[in-house]
Amino acid sequence: MSSNSSDESDYVETKPRRVLKTRPRKRVKYSEPRPTTFEFPLQSLLSILHAQHSDEDSDADDFQSLFDPILVEYLQSRAISEKISVEINEEGARIRPLRHSEIVSSIARLSLIEDPSSSDIITLRKLKLERERNHAGFKGTTIEGLAIPLVPLPATSSNPSVNPEVLEALYSIKSTPFANSFLARLHGQKALLPEGLLGIDWETRTPWMNLMNDIRDHYSFSHPDRECPAAEPAPITYSTLQASQLPQINDLLARSFWAGIDVSDSLEYWPERSTVVAMYKKIIVGVAIISSPIQTYITYLAVKAGWDKAQIARTMLYHLIKMNPTRDFTLHVSTNNSAMLLYNQFGFKAEGFVANFYSAYLDPNSRASKNAYMLRLRHV
């Protein structure tokens, strides 16, 4: 038993150890950086070349001593090359292409100009282009003619004989009719009849038309040897208001009444029933306007100076009344205006007297009376 007890006392319980698995580490190889450029000792090579090619008797081994023996030959070659390339310009002067040194110096000189002209800029650009061509060895292309024998052109035939009658007919033309002249082509075709035409009057002769005829006749009598341009007769047309006529109409009303009149708003209120315009060729000679076909109030009735006393105002008033036959017409007229007789002939009656009606519009020095009559034409 003693032996067993001793064995038990010496017994020590041990646990199995856990073996850890370790991974082998990767070896990192470190290498010293290699130089990217190699330095080659040129001094030893230059010393060898100098020893082999140097002249022991001469001490001067610079560029001048190497270039002097061939300088004369180079100058001769350059002179021959420049002599071949010499050209004669339009003025008879001998010119040659620029040398490389001349091109470089000219480029440097032109580049220093702060505000170069257009000719300097073009010259500088051409010099730079020539420099790049020389660097690239570009000699240019030569144009050679085709080896084709020249054949003389056949002799031209003599001019055919001209008919003398044709020459006489051409020489007899002293002037060209306006319809066939170049001026007629510039002016274009004859103007068409105006839009919104109401009537055409060929019979009326105005003082201005008679005056123009007298001037033309006097010129033809004073200069019988000269050809007087023929006057083209034209009628007086009556039409409705158009937008292109507004500048002339505003000027006519400003001269007849007061400055600042603008009737452009009449184009918005049925101008085909509320406006009448008298025109001779391209000249506005009269205008009559009412406010609207609903409120038939005659705002303006005027005739151009030199065209009065020819029943133009009577015709315009007739067309206004004819376009609105079921309406009463009202208006205000100055007390000393001769148009009172015209309105009385159409049946207008005075219904009121307004003092200083035109005082806010007429000039203080105007001869027209500032008082007005209110007239009305009642529809029967």
Ordered domains of the chain (ranges, CATH): 95-135 (no CATH), 197-324 (3.40.630.30), 328-380 (no CATH)
Please state, in angstroms and rounded to a whole number, the distance separating the CA atoms of residues 134 and 126.
12
In sequence order, the β-bridge partners of residue 377 are 329
Predicted local confidence at residue 241, as pLDDT: 92
Q: Which of 358, 312, 311, 364 is nearest to 337 (CA)?
A: 358
pLDDT tens digit string along 6-16? Answer: 444 455 555 55
- 261: helix, coil or strand? coil
236-264 pLDDT tens trace: 999 999 999 999 999 999 998 888 899 99
- Considering just the CA atoms, what is the radius of gyration of the chain in Å? 55
DSSP state of 307: S
pLDDT band at 5 (very low <50, low <70, confident <90, very high): very low
Q: What is the rounded average pLDDT of the residues 94-108?
A: 86
What pLDDT is attached to residue 172? Answer: 87
DSSP per-residue codes, 337-349: -THHHHHHHHT-E
DSSP 118: H
Tell me what pLDDT residue 19 has.
54
Q: Which residue has the higher pLDDT, 98 or 206?
A: 206
Q: How far apart are CA 197 and CA 57, in angstroms?
A: 119
Q: Between the CA of residue 16 and those of 10, 13, 21, 180, 236, what are the distances in Å?
A: 19, 10, 16, 134, 138
pLDDT, tens digit, for every residue of 169-202? 888 888 888 777 887 777 766 656 778 889 999 9
Distance, CA of 209 to CA of 309 (rounded, Å)? 12
Burial of 246 (0-12, 13-18, 19+ CB in 10 A): middle
CB distance 283 to 249 below 8 Å: no
Rounded to two decimals, the pTM is 0.49
Q: Is the pLDDT of residue 104 over 80?
A: yes
Question: What pLDDT, in 10s, does the model give residues 320-371?
Answer: 999 998 899 999 999 998 889 999 999 999 999 999 898 888 888 888 889 9
Distance from C-alpha of 60 to C-alpha of 14, rounded to nearest angstrom:
100
Q: DSSP string spanning 267-296?
A: GGS-HHHHEEEEEETTEEEEEEEES-SSS-
Residue with tokens 């070659």: 77
How many other CB atoms are there within 10 angstroms of residue 277's CB atom? 26
Nearest to 140 by CA among 148, 132, 150: 132
